[in-house]
Structure 1
């Protein structure tokens, strides 16, 4: 599950307001603000809905992997093809592309 900081950063990366995220996720705007400002911890279902909505908009959440948690944008199709070609993977980066 994502943290409030990841939610705030993901929202900034995909350039969506709290209001628009509220509409897309079904989570009240005040709950989103409290979560991002670390004032309250929403129900797990609300956090999952926020994460799903941000991922649908192009955010990729990075779990703790020794370097810390984070968020980044998905690769575009052309970036995915370029990376695959440069890395000589022999395939296309399918799960990491925005349509």
Structure 2
């Protein structure tokens, strides 16, 4: 969801995170990755303006930073 929110393709995210496109595909299939790889991907997404929302009864999610949200 995060990648789609900022309009990046698999190759875009891979480049920004310093990983291979295959690694992004593995992540999106739900395969296990090293913690350092996940951190690099999350950091790249956060630098692009993605904010990760912790699970609060409705499940974890993402949103773009700076957007106004209804409460």
**Stretches (4+) displaced over 2 A:** none
Q: In the alignment, which of 15, 23, 38 is matched to residue 23 of structure 1?
A: 15
CA distance in 1 between counterparts of 2:19 and 2:33 reads 9
Larger Rg: 1
Counterpart-to-counterpart distance in 2, 1:25 and 1:68: 25
Structure with the higher helix share, 1 or 2? 1
Shift of 1:17: 1.0
CA distance in 2: counterparts of 1:21 and 1:67, whole angstroms: 27
TM-score w.r.t. structure 2 length?
0.87
1:67 aligns to 2:58 (yes or no) = yes
- Where do residues 12-91 of structure 1 align in structure 2 (5 Å cutoff)? 12-38=4-30, 40-75=31-66
Point out which structure has higher relative CO (alpha carbons under 8 A, 6+ apart). 2
Two-structure CA RMSD over aligned residues (Å): 1.5
